[in-house]
Amino acid sequence: MGEGVELEREGPVFVLRLGAGENRVNRGLLEGVAAALDAVEASTGPAALVSVGAGRFYSNGLDLASLSKGGAEEGSAVLRDLHRLFARLLAFPVPTVAAVNGHAFAAGAMLALAHDFRVMRADRGYLCLPEIDLATGRPLTAGMYALLAARLTPAVRHEMLVTGHRYPAPECIEKQIVHEAAAEEAVLAEAVARADALARKDRATLAAIKRGLYAGALRVLEAEGAPDL
């Protein structure tokens, strides 16, 4: 299914495990996640999706070394597929919950934000958009801005992007970035419980509601053409 990507099922809840170290976003991770989403969509009956990392990391963002090594064309293709993943999660026909077990930085934080709900480890780990400190001059794509606008309040979005602040779980709760905090050993269980409670929603109705809620962001994320960074 892709290096470090595994899909399990616990009753109606599919658990997507990201187990490739820091879970940097690259071609392998994107293909693995896409295959997992295909399997969930192909299922019948009640369903929901939980994603979770391993160890200290949920996802530490784009694999910049891989993007650089692959050249401009491959970099653009990876970014385009990342946009499509964000769009797919925003409008996914079953409920989605990110079990943020550790650090979620940059594109990894955006991956968590693309889910319907987020449960974060309470005692360690940060959620952060550190692009201000990377000094690239072109820190985010239009699709990334659209995703953040769909998920965060204007004040929080501004603070996150212009300061690069690292948010622990209590601040994430306070600023409505995540929905719940849990002890390390309970993060996945709480995420699965939240997903299970929603798994019996009608898929077609849920997808239609999500497409209506996030129509503007989806137009940007699903637009043809290669995004730039």
Q: Looking at residue 129, what DSSP letter applies? A: -
Residues 116, 213: Cα–Cα separation, whole Å: 12
Q: Round the average pLDDT of the chain to a whole number and report it.
A: 94
> pLDDT higher for 3 or 101?
101
Instruction: Give the pLDDT band of residue 225 (cuts 50, 70, 90).
Output: low
Domains, the chain, ranges and CATH? 5-221 (3.90.226.10)
Q: Does residue 13 have a pLDDT over 80?
A: yes
Residue 112 CB partners (closer than 8 Å, separation 6+):
51, 58, 59, 98, 100, 104, 118, 127, 178
- Percentage of the chain exceeding pLDDT 90: 86
Here the tokens at position 71 are 């050249």
| φ, ψ for residue 58, nearest 5 deg | -85, -60
Predicted confidence (pLDDT) per residue in 43-53, tens digit: 999 999 999 99
* Reported pTM: 0.95
Predicted confidence (pLDDT) per residue in 101-160, tens digit: 999 999 999 999 999 999 999 999 999 999 999 877 778 999 999 999 999 999 999 999
Which pLDDT score is estimated for 229? 62
Instruction: Check if the beta carbon of residue 4 is closer than 8 Å to that of residue 21.
Output: yes
Predicted confidence (pLDDT) per residue in 166-176, tens digit: 999 999 999 99
Instruction: Give the pLDDT band of residue 74 (cuts 50, 70, 90).
Output: confident
